[in-house]
Structure 1
Amino acid sequence: MNFKNITKPAASKIIIVAGLIFIAVFCFAADSGNRPVQKSPVPADINLVKSHLTALTQTPEFRNHKNIDQLNAIADYIKQDFSKYGDSTTFQEYDVEGKIYKNVITSFGTEHQKRIIIGAHYDVCGDQQGADDNATGVTALLELARMLKDQKLNYRIDLVAYTLEEPPYFRTENMGSHIHAQYLKDNNIDVYGMASVEMIGYFKDEKDSQSYPLGVLSWVYGNKGDFITLVKKFGAGDFVNNFRTQFKEANQIKTETFTAPKFIKGTDFSDHLNYWKFGYSALMITDTSFFRNKNYHETTDTVETLDLPRMTKVIDGIFLSLIHMK
């Protein structure tokens, strides 16, 4: 590139983007360090994880927006399991084009006013099983419900299984997470923050198994898809910073933090975007989705492709973060 021919506005833009890339790389890289592995008082159960994944993916019809009966059956499954453990469990129902869709919510530590939202969507994109996207996230909620029962907590914790995260409703007000976040805002509910659990089961140790929204990141982190990522924006807020600290301290699995502006591809590709919209501190917990898992939105996204031992460690990390949250 001939920099002499670049206009001042263009040069300024290049400098800004380069600066953002540098900051993103620095924030991502600055997380490294050796810590002892915390022992969970109630570890995630790999057999239950596999059982839930199977129940969510091996269904008569695909759990997409067209198959309302199948979505309702999955919502019933989630509610039935939540009800075994939560202080209270309920549907949040809403109408889209004459059809009733349901979020499923269970709560712990209801004696506290300030609450934390841990959410994951249970619908899929098109005609596919959606094992990683996002049966893994919903399975995490189901296991967290079991693990959180009778735990001493410093915050109320709401586990929320959302509907209609996928196209054609993505980025619309019909997303289950938009409905939920809007409800919190309209009712002046005291929310500390939110974490979206979005694809947490796909890991690879082979070279070239990981790509990035910014190619320069591979210079720092290598090209192996062997880590979980905490995705946050600049000025993420107290909850996100606290959660990140607790998750890193738990040291259950190799973890990186990616801090970037929302225009970086993939940064807001999940339910946390609606909590950002309403001003809440929120982040995404992810295996980086299509930057690693080439089964994304394909019929090949099946349970057999997942790394269940590492997935259970992600769940342990979330659980330990919640019970140690200050």
Structure 2
Amino acid sequence: MGEERLRRHVRTLAAGIGERHVRRPHALHAAAAYIRGELESLGYAVAPQAYEAYGVRCENLEVTIPGSSRAGEIVLAGAHYDTVEGSPGADDNASGVAGLIEIARLLRDARPQRTVKLVAFVNEESPFFRSGAMGSAVYARAARRRGDDIRLMLSLEMLGCYREEPGSQAYPPLLRWFYPERGNFIAFVSNLRSRRALAAFTRAFRAASDFPAERLAAPALVPGISWSDQLSFWRAGYPALMVTDTAFYRYPHYHQATDTPERLRYPEMARVVQGLARALQALGAGS
């Protein structure tokens, strides 16, 4: 079952390997090796993009599902595999990486018109966030130099927390009047320039899944809107959005030592990931 595969990936990354960042390079490299091995076991050729940060070799890991009639157009999904110091990072962001690997499994036999790329990014967290040394920033700059036509980038950022208690969902000021009070949905979030891509992806997800989904296009200054790898693609001029359980607006263990695998809700996570894969397949088909 999908939920058991997701659970295994999260446990391996968060419990088996633990916190993973440049100050624990052996763990960062172990996480990269695990992701590479899982993708290769699905039949993919993994292309590393290596660079050095703080004297440590760091890698983004990319797989490609070639397009046919519209191969020059790219739909990309990515998730960062590093953590902050002091946290095993089950939800942030082993859940996103687990989702990426499962999406790769679900799409391995796809024959899209557009090219689909799946990328595991390094170095999203501090001290790299908002810097040119973020893995996603390195990737997005290289894509822009190549002239890649990225039609949509999805940042998979925390996919595992779902809550049914009334009042379990918080929001930035004013937004609580417009969105649900229970944290039982997946959120799609973008800046204002990416709002058309956001609307198109939300439609595709809702057509593919009955899991509750909410969308928000807002200025990047709203707290949390830009807090992941989508920021790197915005800066490179690409449309991008974040797929998230809303992090600290719902999950009290964000960036804590208590962000552990048993706190996640794998049945809901599996439904979300299946919907994401189907939506990506629809967009890859040119929808």
TM band (smaller chain): over 0.9
Aligned pair 1:151/2:110, yes or no? yes
Bigger mean CA deviation after superposition, 162-171 or 234-243: 234-243
Aligned to 2:186: 228
Q: Deviations over 1:155-199 (max 9, x none)?
A: 111111111100111111110000000110011122112000000
Q: Specify which of 166, 169, 182 is matched with residue 207 of structure 1.
A: 166
Task: Give the superposition deviation at 1:67.
Answer: 0.8
Q: Please give the root-mean-square deviation of Cα atoms over the aligned residues, in Å.
A: 1.5
Give 5+ residue unaligned stretches, structure 2: none
Aligned pair 1:165/2:140, yes or no? no
Q: Secondary structure, in 3 states, of the residue corresponding to 1:324?
A: helix
C-alpha distance in structure 2 between counterparts of 1:61 and 1:145, whole Å = 23
C-alpha distance in structure 2 between counterparts of 1:105 and 1:74, whole Å = 14
Task: Give the superposition deviation at 1:87.
Answer: 4.5
Aligned pair 1:254/2:218, yes or no? no
- Listed as ranges, the matches of 1:151-300 within 5 Å are 151-214=110-173, 216-236=174-194, 238-300=196-258
Q: Deviations over 1:90-139 (max 9, x none)?
A: 21100113221111111112552211110100000012211000000000
Give 5+ residue unaligned stretches, structure 1: 1-43
C-alpha distance in structure 2 between counterparts of 1:237 and 1:264, whole Å = 15
C-alpha distance in structure 2 between counterparts of 1:168 and 1:301, whole Å = 19
Aligned to 1:138: 97
Pair 1:60–1:203, CA change in 2 (3 A):
closer
Pair 1:142–1:217, CA change in 2 (3 A):
same
Q: Secondary structure, in 3 states, of the residue corresponding to 1:153?
A: coil
Is the CA contact (8 Å cut-off) linking 2:167 and 2:181 kept in structure 1?
Answer: yes
C-alpha distance in structure 1 between counterparts of 2:219 and 2:175, whole Å = 15
Q: Specify which of 82, 85, 89 is matched with residue 39 of structure 2.
A: 82
Aligned to 1:47: 4
Pair 1:192–1:60, CA change in 2 (3 A):
closer
User: How many residue pairs were aligned?
Assistant: 282
Q: Specify which of 259, 265, 279 is matched with residue 301 of structure 1.
A: 259
Is the CA contact (8 Å cut-off) linking 1:121 and 1:161 kept in structure 2?
Answer: yes
C-alpha distance in structure 2 between counterparts of 1:80 and 1:239, whole Å = 32
Aligned to 1:72: 29
C-alpha distance in structure 2 between counterparts of 1:59 and 1:314, whole Å = 24
Pair 1:65–1:98, CA change in 2 (3 A):
closer
C-alpha distance in structure 2 between counterparts of 1:45 and 1:92, whole Å = 29
Q: Deviations over 1:265-323 (max 9, x none)?
A: 11000000000001101000001000110100001111111111111111011111011
C-alpha distance in structure 2 between counterparts of 1:219 and 1:62, whole Å = 37
C-alpha distance in structure 1 between counterparts of 2:56 and 2:269, whole Å = 34
Q: Flag the structure with higher strand content.
A: 2
C-alpha distance in structure 2 between counterparts of 1:81 and 1:302, whole Å = 21
Segments ≥4 residues shifted beyond 6 Å: none
Q: Secondary structure, in 3 states, of the residue corresponding to 2:21?
A: coil
C-alpha distance in structure 2 between counterparts of 1:80 and 1:222, whole Å = 39
Q: Specify which of 62, 68, 78 is matched with residue 19 of structure 2.
A: 62
Q: Specify which of 88, 93, 107 is matched with residue 64 of structure 2.
A: 107
Bigger mean CA deviation after superposition, 56-65 or 112-121: 56-65
Aligned pair 1:322/2:280, yes or no? yes
Q: Secondary structure, in 3 states, of the residue corresponding to 1:65?
A: coil
Is the CA contact (8 Å cut-off) linking 2:67 and 2:113 kept in structure 1?
Answer: no
Task: Give the superposition deviation at 1:240.
Answer: 3.2
Is the CA contact (8 Å cut-off) linking 1:201 and 1:306 kept in structure 2?
Answer: yes
In the superposition, the TM-score normalised over structure 1's length comes to 0.83
Q: Deviations over 1:36-65 (max 9, x none)?
A: xxxxxxxx7111111111111123552122
In the superposition, the TM-score normalised over structure 2's length comes to 0.94
Q: Secondary structure, in 3 states, of the residue corresponding to 1:322?
A: helix
Bigger mean CA deviation after superposition, 44-53 or 167-176: 44-53
Is the CA contact (8 Å cut-off) linking 1:195 and 1:284 kept in structure 2?
Answer: yes
C-alpha distance in structure 1 between counterparts of 2:67 and 2:96, whole Å = 23
Is the CA contact (8 Å cut-off) linking 1:229 and 1:285 kept in structure 2?
Answer: yes
Is the CA contact (8 Å cut-off) linking 1:212 and 1:218 kept in structure 2?
Answer: yes
